[in-house]
């Protein structure tokens, strides 16, 4: 039997070995999900879904510590941040419960023309069909919640393929849902290789693809979708931040340090490119360096750890190569710049990397923050908008007019004013634009996307 080994990203120790499903087993799971959707007698009523989700939430609340340790051990996110993720995940279930009652259609006016008299018209929202969710490693429980719970909440079967490096949280979530009364085939975890995952993506029985991961893989999968299959793709960004001369550095620096080094920078909206006004760049950089140097790096299971390992050792190699390339092209290492071990890399601040270096052109997805000097706001905006990546961005300033000017000009799906780019709550819309993605996440927004409209027109001579 083929298996995958789930190892600790910190020390490589084996956590669990899981069977890898073959082509026939994957087909069986897809067939079950499709058969369930086709048989309306098996569909769950909204109140039944609410009851299961309420029980799911209640069980999760009793297992916060267990879920935290699972997420931290398999994903490497520090214990303190993994606990926050678990609490977010529980709140995500609550958001889905609340939004079930908000899924509604609307009346379409009739009688405004002769041909439309004697009619009433209403739209209804129906579950879209079988949802296939392909997930990333960096938030193993919360991403599973965002890709499983909305689908079930709207009444559609869901198959999730979690990242093979971090499948345990998704498996545990589905176990808890079954303990809460989830009937068979509504939520299934598929641990399989890429080819079998791609086969599912291409299958006409899939009505909706939710993909979180690299742009290269996501856009390639989108091109292989069956006609009519809708999708949401969430890829990475290269989050630009503008810091004006009037910014309050006592608030700005801690926020950007958190946004840049949280989960060792392995977040799709991590602070990466920081454009700082030339009048304050020395002071800003000195404070950011002091903050970076104070961060505790190490074992994610240690409650004191603030920055954990990268998910794989080859990611440490890549980050090291990118930083070295930036230095050869003129960047100055203000702090960090070296690996601590095979799995951990120092929180690193680079000053004025060349615009053509990889750290300036691509998503680093590591604990590296690049600082660039600018003199005029328009120059900073232009440089922030210079990449095809477009996700969340930010500006720090005490001037409301400057803030609004930046919000209007920055090419981003969201602009944070006086907050870091990694800010998120789970009821807000969340997703990239341009090469950073398509479609919108966030619990209520995903629920909307996982339904489709049906129009009903009633003709009566008494109307």
Alpha-carbon distance 216 to 18, whole Å?
27
Catalytic option among 231, 268, 344, 370: 268
Query: Which pTM does this prediction carry?
Result: 0.94
Confidence of residue 298 (pLDDT cuts 50, 70, 90): very high
Quote the pLDDT of residue 48: 98
Which three-class secondary structure state does DSSP give residue 120?
A: strand
What's the pLDDT score for residue 125?
Answer: 96
Under DSSP, is residue 461 helix (H, G, I), strand (E, B) or coil?
coil
Looking at the chain, the number of H-run helices and the number of E-run strands are 15, 19
**Confidence at residue 462, expressed as pLDDT on a 0 to 100 scale:** 79
Q: Which helix (H) or strand (E) holds 133?
A: strand 131-134
DSSP 304: T
Domain boundaries, the chain: 3-236+436-459, 240-417
160-170 exposure pattern, b = at least 16 Cβ within 10 A, e = fewer: bbbbbbbbbbb
Q: Which residues contact 58 (CB under 8 A, 6 or more apart)?
A: 180
Question: Are 431 and 449 in contact, with CB atoms under 8 Å apart?
Answer: no
Kindly tell me if the per-residue pLDDT of 418 is higher than 70: yes
Locate 258 and state its tokens. Answer: 């958190």
Q: Please compute, for residue 186, the number of CA atoms within 13 A of its CA located in the half-sphere on the CB side.
A: 28
Q: Are 141 and 67 in contact (CB under 8 A)?
A: yes
Distance (Å, whole) CA 164 – CA 215: 18
For the question of residue 234 being annotated catalytic, the response is yes
How do residues 332-350 score in pLDDT, each as one tens digit?
999 999 999 999 999 999 9
Asked about 370 being catalytic, the answer comes back as no
241-270 average pLDDT score: 96
Tell me the per-residue pLDDT of 363-378, one tens digit each, with 9 for 90 and over.
999 999 999 999 999 9
| Per-residue model confidence (pLDDT) at position 151 | 98
Secondary structure letter of residue 75 according to DSSP = H
3-state secondary structure of 221: helix
Given this model, what pLDDT does residue 190 score? Answer: 97
Tell me the pLDDT tens digit for each residue of 213-227: 999 999 999 999 999
Question: Residue 450's closest CA among 22, 49, 121?
Answer: 49
| CB of 11 closer than 8 Å to CB of 115 | no
Asked whether residue 449 carries a pLDDT value surpassing 90, the answer given is: yes
Q: Which of 231, 245, 21, 213 is nearest to 134 (CA)?
A: 213
Task: Determine contact, residues 135/446, Cβ cutoff 8 Å.
Answer: no
Tokens 């279930």 correspond to what residue?
93
Q: Sorting pLDDT into bands at 50, 70 and 90, what band is 461? A: confident
Q: What is the pLDDT of residue 1?
A: 67
Across the range 412-431, mean pLDDT stands at 94
Place of tokens 């398509």: 438
User: Which phi and psi (to 5°) does residue 65 adopt?
Assistant: -65, -45
Domain 240-417, classified CATH 3.40.309.10, yes or no: yes
H or E stretch covering 457: strand 451-459
Mean pLDDT rounded to a whole number for the chain: 96
Q: Count the neighbouring beta carbons within 10 Å of the beta carbon of residue 193.
A: 17
Active-site position among 74, 85, 234, 315: 234
pLDDT of residue 463: 76
CA dihedral 244, 249, 252, 254 (to 10 degrees): 150
Which H helix or E strand runs over 5? strand 3-7
- What class has domain 3-236+436-459? alpha beta
- What contacts 237, CB < 8 A, 6 or more positions away? 268, 269, 272, 363, 389, 390, 391, 392, 421, 432, 436
Mean pLDDT of 156-180: 97
DSSP 138-194: SSHHHHHHHHHHHHHHHT--EEEE--TTS-HHHHHHHHHHHHTTPPTTSEEE----H
pLDDT of the residue at 236: 87
**Residue 271: closest CA among 68, 416, 157, 377:** 416
Structure tokens at 16: 């669990």
């Amino acid at each position: 039997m083929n298996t995958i080994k789930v190892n600790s990203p910190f020390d490589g120790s084996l956590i669990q070995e899981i069977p890898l499903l073959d082509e026939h087993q994957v087909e069986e799971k897809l067939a079950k999900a499709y058969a369930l959707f086709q048989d309306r007698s098996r569909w769950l009523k909204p109140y039944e879904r609410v009851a299961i989700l309420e029980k799911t939430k209640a069980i999760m609340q009793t297992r916060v510590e267990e879920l935290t340790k699972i997420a931290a051990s398999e994903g490497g996110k520090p214990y303190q941040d993994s606990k926050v993720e678990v609490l977010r995940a529980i709140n995500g279930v609550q958001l889905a419960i609340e939004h079930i009652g908000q899924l509604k259609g609307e009346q379409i006016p009739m009688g405004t023309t002769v041909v439309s008299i004697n009619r009433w018209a209403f739209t209804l929202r129906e579950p879209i069909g079988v949802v296939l969710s392909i997930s990333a490693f960096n938030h193993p429980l919360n991403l599973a919640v965002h890709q499983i719970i909305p689908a079930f909440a709207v009444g559609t079967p869901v198959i999730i393929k979690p990242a093979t490096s971090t499948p345990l949280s998704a498996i545990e979530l589905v176990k808890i849902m079954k303990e809460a009364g989830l009937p068979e085939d509504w939520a299934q975890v598929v641990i399989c290789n890429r080819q079998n995952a791609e086969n599912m993506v291409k299958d006409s029985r899939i009505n909706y693809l939710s993909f979180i991961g690299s742009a290269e893989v996501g856009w390639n999968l989108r091109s292989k979708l069956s006609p009519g299959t809708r999708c949401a793709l969430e890829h990475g960004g290269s989050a630009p931040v503008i810091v004006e001369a009037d910014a309050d550095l006592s608030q700005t620096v801690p926020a950007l340090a958190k946004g840049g080094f949280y989960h060792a920078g392995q977040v799709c909206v991590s602070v990466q490119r920081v454009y700082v006004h030339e009048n304050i760049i020395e002071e800003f950089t000195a404070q950011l360096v002091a903050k970076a140097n104070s961060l505790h790096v190490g074992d994610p299971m240690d409650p004191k750890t603030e920055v954990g390992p990268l998910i794989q050792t080859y990611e440490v190699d890549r980050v090291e190569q990118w930083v070295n390339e930036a230095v050869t092209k003129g960047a100055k290492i203000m702090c960090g710049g070296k690996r601590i071990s095979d799995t951990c890399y120092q929180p690193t601040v680079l000053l004025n990397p060349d615009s053509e270096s990889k750290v300036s052109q691509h998503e680093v997805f590591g604990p590296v923050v690049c600082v660039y000097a600018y003199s005029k706001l328009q120059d900073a905006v232009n440089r922030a908008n210079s990449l095809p990546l477009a996700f969340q961005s930010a500006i720090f300033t005490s001037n409301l007019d400057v803030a609004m000017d930046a919000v209007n000009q920055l090419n981003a799906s969201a602009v944070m004013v006086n907050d870091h780019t990694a800010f998120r709550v789970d009821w807000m819309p969340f997703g990239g634009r341009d090469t950073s993605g398509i479609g919108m996440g966030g619990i209520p927004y995903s629920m909307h996307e996982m339904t489709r409209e049906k129009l009903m027109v009633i003709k009566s001579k008494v109307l």
